Chains A and B, each alone.
Chain A
């Protein structure tokens, strides 16, 4: 009996100890067993790991792993939110005039050398942005931020010259840098510091282990990372290798030479989906393509506004695209769904106007223009363009009636340009050419060098071009530089097509200055702006290319959100 009691007590004690110890053991840092994440970039690879001088995607990815920012993004909401993981700002207040943001900073962040991260680290960054000798690549921030002050170590006051609801995106550029180390150097010395190549003071979930230029960058998990979900950073190491191109990246993923890949080429995605041992995540991306139409007279490009008076200048009209009805008709004449199949292997989503489907401001009730060649012919006839002997011919078209009577009887023919070497855009051009040929419209489709194309677009001496834009993340619509009248200047500015609509411009200003930046109120305004854009058609809105992440099955914890592959990387493990 006594033995039985002893046995029972021992069993209970063992159970108690197990209950206490096992969970603790389960939460222990797996060390090298956490495995190595191997991802890839292509191009030249990172050349610096400086928060200040890094400007390309390869180094931005590595800097993002090694340093925290002032602000963070909620991966579910896809918006900058107070208290986001890996952000210095706890919350903030906005003044009534929307000009001043007061950020309250967390006091539990430390640099890897033990120094606290404070508002002084941001204030110092702002000072070097304002110092020409430092050659800061983001010196343009001084145009959009008036001042930065630090009343105390954990409060930051940022003032903007204009009330703009996208101000947080600019404030996000003010990352904390290790001022206690950098401030010992003169501003002109910062660009050449060995620290930029081998940073040994960091703040993010990973720290620098080493790099081979043009080949690999190796980081190690930083176990004192304050925001680590599990209390430690699970992956032991993270390696970014430099691959020759996207095709090579796919081969490396399939071979197991890398275990995580972002954005493989569309023609290889099926192969990845069907491969064994690979998990994928797909989402509407933020890169979109369009056909830009020149609305103004291409033989005499003029800015939209007089630089001295601000008055509108007569820019003339394009013989074909100067008429809105023609632009709308052409959108109905092109089978964009078929284009998505041929150009991006079905890996895209149609756009109805200028806001991407993944944006909070996207208007889901605005359908894209349907493919209807008959309707296109009708609309063109209303606009004074009829098919004669198989050729779309001007018979009372706008340009002939209002600008040049000699244009009467002219065939509809125009030049369509895109950049050579981009197979997606080349496929788009061929579809446009074929579809419009069926309506008797001649499209002289040409592919030219990208830089030459930019020169032609800058000159505004084109008919039409195919190009794309990539929106930032998180996306907050601001099209002032894309469609604003001030951006319609031959030689500079991105309103190449000379779009001009007073109502749109007013709405844009309203959307950017809504009191309190109320999201619902802004959304309503953007809905209306999308309707205007679909009506005006300065671009033929094509499609947004789908985003795609892939990882080998050996990677555990891979659970991305759209445009947020790495949000929980501190919890990942990789089976060896």
Chain B
């Protein structure tokens, strides 16, 4: 297994390299550039704009910018005042030495530090939504398959279609309208909070179980799609399994239906679901961009969108690299899980 993992990781290197080149190229080719909006003030002179471009290093050709991003620029004299002459040694070490660079806009802070600050709320939100999706989606799928064609199956199917089709941003806004703007508590405050992780006057949020009211609306918004998806996957998988010979054999041996459905049926039906878990874990990082925005959730997705809008290259590239690595690892985990759960599959 270890050889398999190492082989897969080595194979991922060119993929990762290709993703970074392509992302950097696309980003550099985008119109405007990071300094256009930053210096869009009636008091800014062309010289100030040139100085800003030099400071950020975006006046270099794109391939040189990429090279500096990759291996750093500590070997180059940088021009920081736009006069064409180098006046200090470069300070970037490059991603290969673990330096993801500094944000162009956000207090010039290291982007990896910024991402570290925002990833926790994102995982808190998307992890809760995934958990809700699995806890509700899988049983719904199993029961829908058991009662195939019955009222529960039909209702769950219709609900799954509806919740798959409703866009998250619309559902979120409707929920806010109903539970935060229209319905009020006795003291006039919203029935459920529409935003933030916890009471804004608190410097540190209490543990998640003490502030579930802040999670209800965003997790429901995000979780409905998970429930819809997993219930359908599970139903299909379950139907596939219960038509197998060994299920018929189990029935003919006189086992109780509950034993057949859950011990023999559901356990085997979970195997294909494992393949979805890897990418789903990856999705925890960036899968809630719109939901975070609607609920003012201080997560990574919302920050990434703002970085793209501001053309904050280091932030965007760090997000791309982390996302790409997470995706690759997610798929590897999926393959490993599949092989571990299903003894018919071997790593070779």
**Chain A residues close to B by CB (< 8 Å):** 36, 38, 43-45, 47-48, 50, 53-56, 59, 132-133, 135, 137, 139-140, 142-143, 188, 191-192, 196, 209-216, 218, 237, 239, 241-245, 248, 251-252, 254-257, 449-452, 454-455, 458, 469-472, 478-479, 481-482, 486-487, 489, 492-494
Q: B106: which of A38, A48, A139, A481 is its contact (CB, 8 Å)?
A: A48
B302 contact set on A, CB distance < 8 A: 44, 214, 244
User: Known contacts A451-B30, A471-B42; is A137 also within 8 Å of B306 by CB?
Assistant: no
Q: How far is the CB of B39 from chain A (nearest CB, A)?
A: 9
User: Known contacts A47-B107, A53-B108, A450-B37; is A248 also within 8 Å of B49 by CB?
Assistant: no
B88 contact set on A, CB distance < 8 A: 132-133
A53 contact set on B, CB distance < 8 A: 107-108
Q: Interface size on B (CB < 8 Å)?
A: 65
Q: Is the CB of A256 within 8 A of B188?
A: yes
Whether a CB of chain A sits under 8 angstroms from the CB of B327 is: no
User: Which applies to chain B's interface (DSSP): helix, strand, loop or mixed?
Assistant: loop
Q: How far is the CA of A146 from the CA of B75 in the complex (A)?
A: 32
Among B30, B106, B109, B188, chain A packs the most CB atoms within 10 A around the CB of: B106
Q: A143: which of B47, B202, B299 is its contact (CB, 8 Å)?
A: B47
Q: Is the CB of A472 within 8 A of B43?
A: yes
B 258-314 contacts with A by CB, 8 A: 293-296, 298-299, 302-303, 306, 311
A139 contact set on B, CB distance < 8 A: 51, 55, 80-81
Can you name the residue of chain A whose Cβ is closest to the Cβ of B36?
A: A454
A47 contact set on B, CB distance < 8 A: 103, 106-107, 109, 114
Whether a CB of chain A sits under 8 angstroms from the CB of B201 is: yes
Among B47, B118, B205, B296, chain A packs the most CB atoms within 10 A around the CB of: B296
Whether a CB of chain A sits under 8 angstroms from the CB of B87 is: yes
B52 contact set on A, CB distance < 8 A: 140
Can you name the residue of chain A whose Cβ is closest to the Cβ of B296?
A: A244
Q: Is the CB of B203 within 8 A of A210?
A: yes
User: Which applies to chain A's interface (DSSP): helix, strand, loop or mixed?
Assistant: mixed
**Chain B residues close to A by CB (< 8 Å):** 30-33, 36-37, 40-52, 55, 78, 80-81, 87-88, 91, 102-103, 105-110, 114, 117-118, 121, 176, 180-181, 188-190, 193-197, 200-205, 293-296, 298-299, 302-303, 306, 311
User: Known contacts A243-B296, A472-B43; is A251 also within 8 Å of B188 by CB?
Assistant: no
Report 24 cross-chain contacts, Cβ distance below 8 Å, ordered by A residue: A45-B298, A47-B106, A47-B109, A47-B114, A48-B109, A53-B107, A132-B81, A135-B108, A142-B81, A143-B48, A196-B107, A212-B203, A214-B121, A239-B200, A243-B296, A244-B195, A254-B181, A451-B311, A455-B36, A479-B42, A481-B44, A492-B50, A493-B46, A494-B42
A248 contact set on B, CB distance < 8 A: 194-195, 294, 296
B109 contact set on A, CB distance < 8 A: 47-48, 191-192, 196
Q: Is the CB of A44 within 8 A of B306?
A: yes
A452 contact set on B, CB distance < 8 A: 31-32
Q: Is the CB of B298 within 8 A of A215?
A: yes
Q: How far is the CA of A257 from the CA of B205 in the complex (A)?
A: 17
B46 contact set on A, CB distance < 8 A: 486-487, 489, 492-493
Q: Is the CB of A50 within 8 A of B107?
A: yes
Q: Is the CB of B201 within 8 A of A257?
A: no
Q: Is the CB of B51 within 8 A of A449?
A: no
User: Known contacts A44-B306, A455-B32, A478-B43; is A255 also within 8 Å of B107 by CB?
Assistant: no
User: Known contacts A212-B197, A214-B303, A243-B296; is A481 also within 8 Å of B43 by CB?
Assistant: yes
